[in-house]
């Protein structure tokens, strides 16, 4: 019955083992190493030099504090966005009037790069945590709203009727039927949100340098410490992969009941 | 009409009839019409001035070709769709929306895929505040009744169509509605599974004889299951004729198939449906 799910890889002609992503990363490092050795310029350290600098970044107190600052802002911005976006998206998906009101507003906001708002927000809220967290929040909100909206719209009418016949109120229908039924779609939105949060986290720190991964990166760049620059890029990349993989683990656990397996390619954005 | 199983005195007979006449019917459909606006802003009359009275404990089928509005009528009784005109009364009380006194079973099953089989069955009970232990005990009993003992921990995606519909029936029976509203419940199943579910539904129904409103387009299914078959015509959907099915209960399929009365009902109803000229379905 559920054995069918395990055969997804075979269709594509080759099987994807657990080490395939590892090989890809290794391949990338090899290409980098050879490329850097051939070019032999100061501004492009070899992969080995960059990797050697990673422990220095992670080992120093300053480095760790900056990275944890970044992660904290990202976590707060992302959580706030999830809390606000999911209910809004679900209500929009079930009430046409609410969707008609919010859709045009969101359509205008959607294509604006949220990091571009950073200078204005800094003007109002300063260069501290609040501005950066707010920008992350703004960047993540829209995709989650959109996915929750689409998910709620697609919920089978008869499923909702079944709940109504059990005597559920509209709020109970939303919380106990629409939310779980739309969960696979919502979590797909959250995954996009996670990647966007990471990108915005770095960008915001680049614009408002005070602390964080972006801060270390650009300070090192200013001082010509190119191995540190690339070490930081590796750290940010690794953070992205780890967070994404962890989230996907959680997602699969939560929606194992769903009819189809939703395979989202890693970092498709 | 119905053969008496026990001799009764005239007085008893009269008083019983008076009692039946005085009590309101389980379902009273009064002058119900439903008009949809189509995409081209034309009005499509789905059903037109339906009057129907259904007694407590009756098994009534609504039979008709696709597009005759039979499902719409069922949804209106369920309170899921508000009729353009007319009213529905259940036990004398006007229907204003869905409620646990009317339990639907849909062709699409509409199970909650994130819940296990048992979780689906007890969803309504938990909603009504029944403690978990009590709800689960009742759930186990219902699942045994519909023949799904041992499947409590399965998820809907792991079940066949017939099993899904058994779960859906148990889920609806769990909150003990007075009326079962069945919308072509076996329409998506293969012939063999359909036959088995029909038999099992009759067995379950014989236990407590709930009122059932059963929508179908299969003539043999309607005759086999029902006390009354309401034949509808298409465009607009109207009641063409109501036929009392006077076949003894409990019914056994093998006996019925050999029963000329059963065969005659089917032939008569098929003729009645064929009588209507085949009309183009309005888009």
pLDDT (tens digit per residue) in A84-101: 999 999 999 999 999 999
> Shortest CB distance from A159 goes to which of B112, B124, B175?
B112
Q: Residue B256, class by beta-carbon neighbours within 10 Å (0-12 exposed, 13-18 middle, 19+ buried)?
A: middle
Q: How large is the average pLDDT for residues A218-240?
A: 88
Query: What's the CA gap between B116 and B104, in Å, rounded?
Result: 20
Write down the architecture of domain A45-254 according to CATH.
Orthogonal Bundle (1.10)
CB contact under 8 Å between A164 and B102, yes or no, is: no
Q: Are A91 and A233 in contact (CB under 8 A)?
A: no
Confidence of residue A118 (pLDDT cuts 50, 70, 90): confident
Which residue of A3, A156, A166 to mutate against B (max B Cβ within 10 Å)? A166
Region of poorest pLDDT, from A67-81, A226-240, B81-95? A226-240
Calculate how close chain A gets to B226, using CA atoms only, in Å: 24
CB contact under 8 Å between A161 and B104, yes or no, is: yes
Peptide bond into A10 cis (omega under 30): no
Query: What is chain A's mean pLDDT, rounded?
Result: 86
Task: Output the DSSP codes for chain B.
Answer: -PPPSS---HHHHHHHHHHHHHSPPSEEEEEEEEEEEPTTS-EEEEEEEEEEEE-TT-EEEEE--TTSSHHHHHHHHHTSS--SEEEEEETTEEP-S--TTEEEEETT----TTS-HHHHHHHHHHHTT--HHHHHHHHHHHHHHTT-TT-TT--GGGS-HHHHHHHHHHHHHHT--SEEEEESTTTTS-HHHHHHHHHHHHHHHHHH--EEEEEES-HHHHHHH-SEEEEEETTTBEEEEEEE----SS--HHHHHT-HHHHHHHHHHHHHHHHS--PPPP-
**Sole residue written with tokens 């597009």:** B67
Chain B residues inside the 8 Å CB shell of A156: 108, 110
Strand pairing class (B59-63; B211-216): parallel
Tell me the pLDDT band of A153, cut-offs 50, 70 and 90.
very high
Residues of chain B contacting A166 with CB distance shorter than 8 Å: 100, 123-124, 127-128, 175
Q: How far is A28 from chain B (nearest CA, A)?
A: 40
Query: Which CATH superfamily groups domain B26-101+178-283?
Result: P-loop containing nucleotide triphosphate hydrolases (3.40.50.300)
Query: How much is the pLDDT for A267?
Result: 41
Among the partner residues B78, B115, B157, nearest to A165 by beta-carbon distance: B78
Over 70: is that where the pLDDT of A259 sits?
no
Cβ within 8 Å, pair A161-B106: yes
Tell how far CA A231 is from the center of its chain: 21
Q: Give residue B74's pLDDT.
A: 96
pLDDT higher at A261 or A72: A72
* Chain B residues in contact with A172 (beta carbon < 8 A): 127
A165–B98 C-beta distance less than 8 A: yes
Domain ranges of chain A: 45-254
pLDDT value of position A264? 45
Antiparallel, parallel or unpaired: β B27-37 and B43-54: antiparallel
Give the nearest chain B residue to A3 (CA atoms): B158
- Can you give the pLDDT at residue B36? 87
Contacts across the A-B interface (CB distance below 8 Å): 72
* Cβ within 8 Å of residue A222, ≥6 positions away: none
Higher per-residue confidence, B88 vs A117: B88
| DSSP state letters, B149-179 | TT-TT--GGGS-HHHHHHHHHHHHHHT--SE
Residues A7 and B226: their CA atoms lie apart, in Å, by 46
What residues have CB less than 8 Å from A32, skipping those under 6 apart? A46, A47
Smallest CA–CA distance, residue B155 to chain A, in Å, is 7
Contacts of B111 in chain A (CB under 8 A): 159
B262 to chain A nearest CA, in Å? 34
Tell me whether residues B112 and A181 touch, CB distance under 8 A: yes
Residue A22 tokens, joined: 């590892």
Nearest by CB to B110, which of A159, A167, A259?
A: A159
Tell me the torsion sign for CA atoms B225, B229, B232, B237: negative
Contact B113 A161 (CB under 8 A): no
- B96 class by beta-carbon count within 10 Å (0-12 exposed, 13-18 middle, 19+ buried): exposed
Which residues from chain B sit within 8 angstroms of residue A1, using beta carbons? 158
Give B50 to chain A, closest Cα distance, Å: 23
SS (H, E, C) chain A: CHHHHHHHHHHHCCCCCCCHHHHHHHHHHHHHHHHHHHHCCCCCCCHHHHHHHHHHHHHCHHHHHHHHHHHHHHHHHHHHHHHHHHHHHHHHHHCHHHHHHHHHHHHHHCCCCHHHHHHHHHHHHCCCHHHHHHHHHHHHHHHHHHHHHHHHHCCCHHHHHHHHHCCCCHHHHHHHHHHHHHHHHHHHHHHHHHHHHHHHHHHHHHHCCCCCHHHHHHHHHHCCCHHHHHHHHHHHHHHHHHHHHHHHHHHHHHCCCCCCCCCCCCCCC
Supply the pTM of this predicted model. 0.84
Sorted by where each begins, the domain ranges of chain B are 26-101+178-283, 110-176
What is the value of ipTM here, to two decimals? 0.88
Interface test with B, best of A158, A169, A251 (most B CBs within 10 A): A158
Q: Which residues of A touch B (CB under 8 A)?
A: 1-2, 156, 158-159, 161-162, 164-168, 172, 176-177, 180-181, 183, 255, 257-259
| Per-residue confidence (pLDDT) for residue A4, from 0 to 100 | 41
Q: What is the pLDDT along chain B (283 residues), one digit of tens a residue?
A: 444 444 455 555 555 555 555 578 999 999 999 998 887 778 888 898 999 999 999 999 999 988 888 999 999 999 999 999 999 999 999 999 999 999 999 999 999 999 999 999 999 999 999 999 999 999 999 999 999 999 999 999 999 999 999 999 999 999 999 999 999 999 999 999 999 999 999 999 999 999 999 999 999 999 999 999 999 988 788 999 999 999 999 998 989 999 999 999 999 999 998 875 555 555 4
- Checking if the pLDDT of A167 tops 90, the result is yes
Under 8 Å CB-to-CB from A220, ≥6 apart: which residues? A226, A228, A229, A232
Task: Compute the average pLDDT of residues A149-155.
Answer: 96
The shortest CB-CB distance from A167 to any of B80, B100, B110 is to B100
pLDDT at residue B43, as a whole number: 85
* Confidence at residue A20, expressed as pLDDT on a 0 to 100 scale: 80
Min Cα–Cα distance to chain A from B180, Å = 11
């Amino acid at each position: 019955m559920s054995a069918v799910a395990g055969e997804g890889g075979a269709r594509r002609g080759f099987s994807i083992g657990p080490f395939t992503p590892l090989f890809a990363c290794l391949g990338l490092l090899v290409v980098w190493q050879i490329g850097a050795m051939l070019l032999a310029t100061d501004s492009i350290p070899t992969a080995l030099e960059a990797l050697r600098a990673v422990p220095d970044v992670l080992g120093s107190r300053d480095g760790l504090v900056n990275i944890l600052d970044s992660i904290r802002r990202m976590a707060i911005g992302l959580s706030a966005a999830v809390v606000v976006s999911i209910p809004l998206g679900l209500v929009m998906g079930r009430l046409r009037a609410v969707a008609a009101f919010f859709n045009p507003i969101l359509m205008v906001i959607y294509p604006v790069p949220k990091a571009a708002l950073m200078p204005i927000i800094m003007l109002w809220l300063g260069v501290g945590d609040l501005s950066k967290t707010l920008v992350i929040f703004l960047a993540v909100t829209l995709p989650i709203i959109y996915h929750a909206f689409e998910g709620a719209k697609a919920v089978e009418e008869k499923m909702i009727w079944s709940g109504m016949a059990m005597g559920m109120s509209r709020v109970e229908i939303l919380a106990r039927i629409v939310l779980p039924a739309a969960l696979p779609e919502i979590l797909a939105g959250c995954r996009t949100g996670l990647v966007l949060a990471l990108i915005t986290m770095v960008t915001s720190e680049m614009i408002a340098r005070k602390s964080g991964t972006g801060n270390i990166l650009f300070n090192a760049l200013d001082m010509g410490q190119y191995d540190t620059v690339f070490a930081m890029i590796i750290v940010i990349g690794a953070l992205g992969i780890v967070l994404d993989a962890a989230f996907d683990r959680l997602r699969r656990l939560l929606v194992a009941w769903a009819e189809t397996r939703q395979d989202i390619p890693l970092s498709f954005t | 009409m119905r053969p008496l199983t026990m001799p009764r005195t005239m007085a008893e007979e009269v008083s019983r009839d008076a009692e039946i006449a005085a009590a309101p019917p389980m379902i009273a459909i009064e002058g119900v019409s439903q008009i949809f606006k189509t995409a081209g802003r034309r009005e499509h009359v789905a059903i037109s001035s339906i009057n129907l009275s259904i007694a407590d404990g009756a098994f009534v089928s609504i039979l008709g070709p696709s597009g005759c509005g039979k499902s719409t009528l069922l949804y209106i009784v369920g309170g899921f769709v508000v009729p353009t005109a007319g009213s529905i009364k259940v036990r004398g009380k006007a229907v204003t929306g869905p409620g646990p006194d009317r339990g639907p079973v849909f062709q699409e099953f509409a199970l909650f895929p994130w819940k296990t089989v048992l979780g689906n069955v007890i969803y309504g009970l938990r909603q009504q505040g029944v403690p978990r232990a009590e709800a689960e005990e009742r759930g186990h009993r219902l699942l045994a009744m519909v023949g799904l003992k041992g499947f409590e921990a399965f998820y809907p995606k792991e079940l066949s169509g017939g099993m899904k519909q058994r779960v859906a029936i148990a889920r609806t029976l769990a909150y003990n509605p007075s009326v079962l509203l069945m919308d072509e419940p076996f329409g998506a199943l293969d012939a063999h599974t359909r036959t088995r579910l029909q038999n099992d539904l009759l067995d379950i129904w014989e236990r407590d004889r709930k009122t059932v409103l059963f929508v179908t387009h299969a003539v043999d299914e309607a005759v086999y299951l029902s006390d009354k078959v309401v034949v509808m015509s298409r465009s607009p959907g109207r009641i063409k004729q109501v036929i009392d099915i006077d076949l003894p209960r409990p019914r056994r399929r093998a006996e019925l198939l050999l029963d000329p009365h059963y065969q005659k009902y089917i032939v008569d109803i098929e003729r009645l449906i064929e009588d209507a000229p085949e009309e183009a379905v309005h888009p």
